[in-house]
Amino acid sequence: MTKAITAAQMKHYDQYTINTIGIPSMVLMERASLALRDEILKQYPQAQNITIVAGSGNNGGDGLCVARLLQIAGKHTTVIEAGNPNHFSEEHRAQAKTCDYYRIPQLTTLDTIDSADLLVDAIFGIGIDREVRDPYASIINQMNAASAPIIAVDVPSGINTDTGEVLGTAIKADTTVTFTFNKIGLTTKNGQQYAGRIVVADDMGTYATD
């Protein structure tokens, strides 16, 4: 049984790694996204048109980062920015700038949700802290209704990381790639139902010993 932790424990490990050990957050983000890219290429090799739906934080930052990595790997990637640009995290902003150089479309329209071969859920990760409302709720519902499989980044958006409960509405993922350790919420019956196949990406550089 692999170890499972809470959002607070994960944040502690991340902050310790970044602020005490000194591995930059962007390095962790790149390494998390490389693990995510590898899982996507392994599990969905046929997917050519991949739409990444990004929230405003670092879960969205992972999404923008993997959009670039997948384009370099020969995929056609499109980002849908679901978050408020005024709330973009520093890392999210940096990843969006990189996507500009790689000419990756960053849209606010939703029609590529229905035409994609694969959807990447990068809306919310361990930072979710309240009920999901519009516009996110309707975007999540549209993603769940689409024909494409969904791979969730770290935690299916809308699922409480610690309890597995649905915060209003949540992504029903085929696969979830969660970073460093599994999350307690994804070991619950409900969490597993929404996470689908869980892959723990455990070598992305976070210093995680107590």
Ligand X SMILES: NC(=O)C1=CN([C@@H]2O[C@H](COP(=O)(O)OP(=O)(O)OC[C@H]3O[C@@H](n4cnc5c(N)ncnc54)[C@H](O)[C@@H]3O)[C@@H](O)[C@H]2O)[C@H](O)CC1
Provide the annotated binding site for K(+): 59, 121, 157
Task: Confirm or reject binding of residue 153 to K ion (CB under 5 A).
Answer: yes
Helix, strand, coil share of the chain (percent; to 5): 40, 20, 40
Residue with Cβ nearer ligand X (114 or 165): 165
Q: Which amino acid is at 210?
A: D
The residues, any chain, with a CB within 8 Å of residue 204's CB and separated by 6 or more, are: 28, 31, 32, 34, 35, 179, 180
Residues 48-67 that bind ligand X (CB under 6 A): 55-62
Determine the Cα–Cα distance for residues 88 and 61; give it in Å rounded to an integer: 9
d(CA 170, CA 203): 27
Among 28, 35, 104, 170, binds ligand X (CB under 6 A): 28
Question: Which part of the chain contacts ligand X (CB under 6 A), choosing from 71-79, 96-104, 126-134, 187-195?
Answer: 126-134
**Contact status: 128 vs ligand X (CB under 6 A):** yes
Question: What is the spatial distance between Cα 128 and Cα 71, in angstroms, rounded to a whole number?
Answer: 28
121 binds K ion (CB under 5 A): yes
Binding residues: 58-62, 121, 125-131, 136, 154, 157
Run of H or E residues at 36: helix 25-43
Out of 80, 116, 153, 159, the residue judged to bind ligand X by CB under 6 A: 153
**Closest CB to ligand X among 130 and 147?**
130
159 binds K ion (CB under 5 A): no
* CB-based contact 148:48 (threshold 8 Å): no
State which of residues 132, 148, 151, 184 lies at the interface with ligand X (CB under 6 A): 132
Q: Which of 9, 33, 157, 160 binds K ion (CB under 5 A)?
A: 157
Catalog residues that contact K ion under the rule CB under 5 A. Answer: 121, 152-153, 157
